[in-house]
Each structure stands twice: as C-alpha cells, then as structure tokens.
Chain A
Amino acid sequence: MPTHALSTPLAEDPPRRKPRRPAAPRLQTLDGLPPGPGRFNRSLHWLAFHGLPPLLGLALFMLGWQLLSLHNASLPGPATTWAAAVELFADPFYDNGPNDQGIGWNILHSLARVGIGFGLAALVGIPAGFIIGRFAFIGRMAAPIISLLRPVSPLAWLPIGLLVFKAAGPASIWVIFISSIWPMVLNTAAGVAQVPQDYLNVARVLKLPEAKVFTRILFPAVLPHMITGIRLAIGVAWLVIVAAEMLTGGVGLGFWVWDEWNNLNVAHILIAIFVVGIVGLLLEQALVLLARRFEY
C-alpha cells in the first residue's frame, strides 16, 4: 500500500480495493473480432430479430387471408384485392357526382372532417385541461361531468349533432369533436397536476409573474403530456370518423365503405380497411415523431 506523504488519519484507512479489471479482457475479445465478418454478422443478427418477424407476420396474415378466400367465394383474395386497388389508385381524383368520387377525394374529405373536429377539440380541450389541472376547485367541478360523459359512445352524440346543426357534415364533425376532446382534456390536466413541485418552487423563489410561469414552466413541462393526449385523441377521431360517415353519408371513407357494401364490391371494402389502417398509422407515427422532439 502506498503511504501518504502527509501523516494523517487517512493513512490508517484500510487498503483501498484494487480496481476491478475482469471486465476489460472480455471487452477486448469483442473488439478483437475481425471487423468485416463481425459487423456483417451483427447486422444479420439484427435483421433476423427485427426485420424478419414483421415480414413473417404479414406473410402468415396473407396466407390466412388467401386460405379463407379459397373457402369463401364471396371474399376476394389478396391478389384480387391488389388488382382492384391498383385500378382504384390509378385515378384517385375523378369526380362523377356526389356519390361517385375517387378514393383520394374520400380520404381527403374524411381527413378534413377529422382535422376540423379534432382542431376544435384541441382549441377547447387543451385550455380546459390547463384550467382543470391548475385550479383544484374547477377540477373537482368538472370531474363528475367528465366521468359521466367520457364513457358514452361517440356515435350516441350524432343525433344531437343532427338536431342542432341540421346537416350531416357538421354533425359528423361534432362527433369527432366530442370523441377527441376527452383524451386532450384529461392528459393536459394530469400533466399540469404532475408538474414537479421543484420547478414551481423555482418560480416562487424568482417570483415569476403568472404569464412567465405559464410560458417558461407550466407549458414546457406539460407539453409531453399534451402531445400524448393529442396522439390518443387523433387515434379515437380516426376510429370514429368511419362509423360517423357511414351514418351521415356524403363523401368520405365511411360512406364509401357503406356504398361499396350496397354495391357488394367486397374488394373495395377490404381496400378501405387497409387505407383506414395505413392513414391511421401515418397519423400516429407523425405524432410520435413530434413527441420525440419534446422529450427532455
């Protein structure tokens, strides 16, 4: 044991543990791998565990679908559906009157309704969430209403919308509004309630004015929760729009599905299901990307 130059009580301490080393040699053997095949092996390994399973799952799904369609003459198989889709997407923006429009128009109309209903819900729901989260009294006031209304199926609101707006378009927007507002209100409120006391103490020590507390502390602290609420809300909105449009008619994916059911064009119904799924996936992914920008 090396002795200290200064003769202090420190020198009488028990000998320090020798630095542990066994980890190092193992690391060296890993590094010692020939770089070429090692890297190749590793990327192959990654592919096998991350790239392969989804492909395998999709292949199995297609197989099941194919088998099902062989036993059921009215259900088109993947190949038939694909052929119909290619034909459909060859001209997505034709317009033969209100009941016969291209798939592109149907998607855009549905998206527009979701956008408007969801946008209005965000305009109302996010400030409401801030108020409910910041003021306990108002939070308790709102709690019974929210608990009562939240479990109601969005479509139950459709007659009210038709009654009030006397038109199908605004009524389906209303349904989107009411179904997507809850996740935003609740997540924003939860976010506000969870702002760490430490941050608020900083605001108190600095005696920040309420406007600064909001812009510098509350809003950035709540933003991740808010985006979670937005993500959930847009998922619900996209789920609900198909059902709402089935009931209200007009141009839109939901109506299109119902129209093709009346035409007994099952291939187009299947295409609609995929389109709804893919658009929903893209919306979700866009918001996941947005959320990642605001992780601290």
Chain B
Amino acid sequence: MDKFVQLQDVGMAFDTRQGRFVALRNVNLDIREGEFLALIGHSGCGKSTVLNLIAGLLRPSAGVLLCHNREIAGPGPDRGVVFQNHSLLPWLSCYGNVYLAVERVFGAKENRSMLKQRTHDALAMVGLSHASHKRPHEISGGMKQRVGIARALAMQPKVLLLDEPFGALDALTRAHLQDELLRIVAQTRTTTVMVTHDVDEAVLLSDRIVMMTNGPAATVGEILAIDLPRPRERLALASDPAYHAARNVVMDFLYRREIRQAA
C-alpha cells in the first residue's frame, strides 16, 4: 500500500506567552506500508512534532493526518511510540512495563498465559530475557531503550514511531542498538518512522530520508530514497560509494542549504 500514513497540508501552531508560534506549515507526506522512514533536521525544526502528530499526542491546527485511510483522532496502540527518554514506569519491572501494553491490546481476547508468552517474546526479541524481572533504574540506558522498543513492538502496531530513540546513548551502544533495530524491523516488517539528527543512522536504517527545513514554519525540504540493498551491514557500508553518496546528499542539505543559525 502506497499511502499507509498520509499527512495532507498539515500545519501546527502553538500558543505561547510570546504569541502564536508556527512550528509546521504545509507538511505533505505519504508513508508506505512496511517502509522505514527517517525524519532528519536541525533541532527545533519540528520533526518531533511531526512524530507526535502521527502518534496522535498532538492535534494539528491545520490539515489532516490519515492512518489506513482513517483520520488520526488521538493516540492509540495501533501506533506504538518509543519515547526519547524511554518513559518506562519506574515502579514496574521490565516485564511489567511490557505486560501493561500487551494486556491492554490483547487482554480482551487472549488468556493470561498467551499474554505472558507475548511479553516474553517481546523481551527476547530485544535480547533482554535475562533482565525481565529488573526495575528500570537497575539497568543501563541502552537496555531501557530496548525495553521501550519491546513495549512498542509487543502491541503489534501498524506503525512504529521512534523519537530520537538512541539520542541519549553513547556511540557504541547506539551502533549496537541500530543493528538490533535493523534486524527487528527486517523480521517484523513494521512500518517505521524515526526522528533522528544522526545522518549515519538515517542512511543506515532508512528506505527514505525526509529532510526538514529549519523552523519556524518548517516543512518537508527534500526526500531522499536510499536504495542500498538489505540486509545492510555496517562495516560493508562504510566502504560503499552509494552509502557515501547518500550521506553527502543529507550532509549537503543540512550543512549548506539549511545551515543552522548560530545558536
């Protein structure tokens, strides 16, 4: 399906103390089923706002968002979100955090042992079976983010939304989790939208990269298709000219055309 998620002339304005702030204007975007889409742009360009609009956590002040040809009227478990700061509930174990989501989505039609199995499967997929009884404060930042991914995927969402999921992690952990995500998405074929400011991450993971212009009133600047074959392998790509070409296009957009004003 070519237009799985559609954004039609979406605009977003916030009322602040200094008056109305127009964050997004005329955003048009079609997301295909099963594709991995990255949203990239300088900070403050409204890429997280786009994600929150798709999630339904924000309502657009102009335009329409459709998911599966139905208007997005609010948040719902058909769009799983992995938050930037993991947002695990600290009083629940990793298992409890995932189970809460599983129970909510499948609790009505499945019995307890099936729900348990789903929870275990989700944690196993992110390689955290051994830590399922631990509380979030007992595990590392990378592990927390894995639990967040497990929680989102356990709901079997139509769309997986990732808001700079690896932004707070060190480079090695980040690379490791990117590889994991590549593997998981290849396995589940979930339509995925990821907000990032990391060019390498975007090129490595995506089918298409949506480059956003600088705010205020940001919009889609350019869309780049990444035709690198899958499965992708980090080390092999490092010497792949196509990889570097794609990388250069994004770099050129970010650092020449949309150069950020001195902060």
- Count, chain A residues at interface, CB 8 A: 19
- Return B236 CB to nearest CB of chain A, in Å: 9
Q: Does chain B have a CB within 8 A of A208?
A: yes
How big is the B interface, by class? Answer: 20 to 34
Bound together, the chains give a CA A205 to CA B91 distance in angstroms of 19
Contact across chains for B239 and A199 when beta carbons are under 8 A apart: no
Contact across chains for B239 and A205 when beta carbons are under 8 A apart: no
Q: Does chain A have a CB within 8 A of B257?
A: no
Interface residues of B in 80-99 (CB under 8 A from A): 80-81, 83, 85, 87, 89-92
- Return B209 CB to nearest CB of chain A, in Å: 20
- Return A219 CB to nearest CB of chain B, in Å: 9
Bound together, the chains give a CA A10 to CA B135 distance in angstroms of 38
Q: Which residues of A contact B141 (CB under 8 A)?
A: none
Inter-chain contact count A-B, CB under 8 Å?
A: 56
One digit per residue, 1 when the CB lies within 8 angstroms of any chain B CB and 0 when it does not, for chain A 146-178 equals 000000000000000000000000000000000
Q: Which residues of B contact A205 (CB under 8 A)?
A: 55, 57, 75-77, 79-81
Q: Does chain A have a CB within 8 A of B235?
A: yes
Bound together, the chains give a CA A7 to CA B238 distance in angstroms of 10
Q: Nearest chain-B residue to A294 (Cβ)?
A: B91
Q: Which residues of B contact A80 (CB under 8 A)?
A: none
Query: A207 contacts which of B83, B85, B90, B104 (Cβ < 8 Å)?
Result: B104
Q: Which residues of A contact B239 (CB under 8 A)?
A: 6-8
Q: Nearest chain-A residue to B136 (Cβ)?
A: A296
Contact across chains for B89 and A207 when beta carbons are under 8 A apart: no
Q: Does chain A have a CB within 8 A of B137?
A: yes
Interface residues of B (CB under 8 A from A): 55-57, 74-77, 79-81, 83, 85, 87, 89-92, 100-101, 104-105, 135, 137, 155, 235, 238-239
21 A-B pairs with CB atoms under 8 Å apart are A6-B238, A7-B239, A8-B238, A199-B89, A201-B75, A201-B81, A202-B87, A202-B89, A204-B56, A204-B74, A204-B75, A205-B57, A205-B75, A205-B80, A206-B104, A206-B105, A206-B155, A207-B75, A220-B91, A296-B90, A296-B135
Interface residues of A (CB under 8 A from B): 6-8, 10, 198-199, 201-202, 204-208, 212, 216-217, 220-221, 296
